Structure 1
């Protein structure tokens, strides 16, 4: 194998890693923003209904956590963003159980 071929292979691997990281950032940012918007919409709908105050509060808090995950994802902290997305959705689901 030529030294030139080996260098070219390393460049391709590096480019693939950069694309994977960029894709992970976009996914975390987009998912966090979408879940935050859906949580705020659900909070608003539950606030206008006859649900206990805990339910819209849980949706709003979960939306805030997902919004924070979106910001972290945009900054490249995709693992932390993933865990915050999970926590945010779990808070929203738990709040929905009180309805």
Structure 2
């Protein structure tokens, strides 16, 4: 067998159309009681109860906190980038330095907007990109 997910089984191993599928646990395996909660079993496993994760949050406070952190971090980094751009603009730094800080700050503003709208993964990557642009501007100095 090639191991590919889309590969088909060999014709000799397919069940006949009139043949019922066999139970993989075997014919002697006890069947679950009718009142067992099948949703509580992880991946359909037998004999193990699935404990509720502490990550599950029915009221959505984790998502709200992630949005708040992404928006807050983007806002703080954008203010820091703008302040650095203004300081570099007032000093004897070459022109690409304040432009890089301002560009990185603009990317962080976009990350803050996306983070506040719930696009926290994209906001994270934009925050990283904005910081990298600011660091590149610092290398020009």
Task: Name which one, 1 or 2, has greater alpha-carbon Rg.
Answer: 2
User: Which position in structure 1 is the counterpart of 2:130?
Assistant: 88
Q: Deviations over 1:49-80 (max 9, x none)?
A: 00000000000000000000000000000000
User: Which position in structure 2 is the counterpart of 1:53?
Assistant: 95
- Ranges in structure 2 where 5+ consecutive residues have no aligned partner: 1-34, 41-51
Q: Which of 50, 62, 81 is the equivalent residue of 1:20? A: 62
- Ranges in structure 1 where 5+ consecutive residues have no aligned partner: none
> What TM-score, normalized to structure 2?
0.61
RMSD of aligned alpha carbons: 2.3
Q: Give the deviation of 1:15 after TM superposition.
A: 2.1
* Corresponding residue pairs, total: 93
Matched, 1:42 2:84: yes
Moved over 4 A (4+): none
Counterparts of 1:32 and 1:93 in 2: how far apart (Å)? 16
> What TM-score, normalized to structure 1?
0.85
Q: Deviations over 1:32-61 (max 9, x none)?
A: 000000000000000000000000000000
Q: Give the deviation of 1:19 after TM superposition.
A: 1.1
Counterparts of 2:57 and 2:121 in 1: how far apart (Å)? 20
- Ranked by relative contact order (alpha carbons within 8 Å, sequence separation 6 or more), the top structure is 1
